[in-house]
Structure 1
Amino acid sequence: MKQKIIEEYEVNSSTMFIKPVEYGSKIYSQIYEADGEFLSPYKPFDIIKHSCEYYLADYQSRRRATKDLTNYTRKVPIAIEPSNDIFFFPTASPESSVCMWFSLSQIENHLPAPGAKTKVLFQNKQSLLFDVPFATFNNQMERTSHVKAKFLQRLERKGNKKTFYLINRPKLGKASETQREYTNHSKTPNPK
């Protein structure tokens, strides 16, 4: 199956994970979304940094905010766009050529697998095996959940109910009404 190569990509609420792949002599990113796969000529870390900028922040600011909130200093989870529930975590040092990035909201479950691997079940019911020790993966998920919880606590403490609602809003469904064209049936008097 030939994958579509895309030049620009920002992580979004459908992004499941990004993993590095060798493409010739370079490292590209294989991007998995809930309903598709893409290949990018950029490294996963570059996509994460670009995504922070796309959502009007820079990576270092997001990293520093997480560090201030939690005291984490290594393999820091990143709140790329908290109001859209986009929290990602690295599986290794972000600069490492083997580092993958996972979206917390897309993971339904994770289990240990033979050979120091982790089996991940995603929200779209897809199940994949990764070369990441279960203890590492589990720790990174817990840390990212902690970052999200601390962020929500901060919002509640500040009394920012509007932002709190945006993050925890119910998923929108289809409207029960059908679209109709409304016309104005009122008669305007004729000028004499």
Structure 2
Amino acid sequence: MKQKQIEEYEINPCTMFIKPFVYGSKVYSQIFELDDEFISPFKPIEIVRKSCEYFGSSFDGRREGTRQLIGITHKVPIVVDPTNFIYLFPTTSPNRPECIWISHEHVMHHERTSVGDTLVTFQNKHSYPLPVSYSSFKNQLLRTALLRTKLMQRIEQMERKSYYVVHRPRPLEASEQHRRYGQFME
């Protein structure tokens, strides 16, 4: 795959992971999609922030939403776009330049390769060694799964409530002629 340079990028359903790429004294992003790779002049955290805004929220709002739903405050998984199942998790603190953002949806398998590395296989059957410990990777994967589950439960609960409002039973009315108590109306 040949890497293309791009100026603008929004995280989308094909995004597998975004990792920092040092070029001279600047940190760029290397973006891996199912069938493509790109280089962006923005840091991974900047792409995640812009993508959250593209889908109608701020990064801080998404982070606070995760805290409210599952109580996690450090290395927080982010819901970029729940309607397209775009959930990302960081390999380290998002403020650190070496942080890689991984799409939960595309992780197929992971295995320990050495003390500080994990070999991750994605949906496109490509595997990449990532500089994150196996236990940390597994923990981030589980946290993101919990976030997805909690958010989907809330969405489904709201859908059930909406269905009930639209399809609630109608009050029954008598089919006989109207009568006043004790007398017939003609």
TM-score tier after normalising by the smaller chain length: 0.7 to 0.9
| Matched residue, 1:104 | 104
Q: Aligned partners of 2:32 and 2:23: how far apart in 1?
A: 17
State the 1:7 CA deviation. 0.5
| Matched residue, 2:86 | 86
| Matched residue, 1:37 | 37
Question: CA RMSD, aligned part only?
Answer: 1.5
Q: Which has the larger radius of gyration?
A: 2
Q: Aligned partners of 1:54 and 1:45: how far apart in 2?
A: 14
| Paired letter, 1:93 | S
| Matched residue, 2:16 | 16
| Matched residue, 2:141 | 141
Instruction: Structure 1 unaligned segments of length 5 or more: list them.
Output: 163-192
> SS at the partner of 1:118?
strand
> SS at the partner of 2:159?
coil
State the 1:106 CA deviation. 0.7
| Matched residue, 1:48 | 48
- Relative to structure 1, the CA distance from residue 161 to residue 55 in structure 2 (aligned partners, 3 Å threshold; closer, same or farther) is farther
Structure 2 counterparts to residues 1-192 of structure 1, below 5 A: 3-159=3-159
State the 1:137 CA deviation. 0.6
Instruction: Structure 2 unaligned segments of length 5 or more: list them.
Output: 163-186
Report the TM-score, using the length of structure 2 for normalisation: 0.84
Q: Aligned partners of 1:113 and 1:134: how far apart in 2?
A: 8
State the 1:155 CA deviation. 1.3
Q: Is the 8 A contact 2:29 2:40 kept in 1?
A: yes
Q: Is the 8 A contact 1:90 1:99 kept in 2?
A: yes
State the 1:158 CA deviation. 2.0
Q: Is the 8 A contact 2:3 2:36 kept in 1?
A: no
State the 1:20 CA deviation. 0.4
Aligned residue pairs, count:
162
Report the TM-score, using the length of structure 1 for normalisation: 0.81
| Paired letter, 1:95 | N
State the 1:84 CA deviation. 0.2
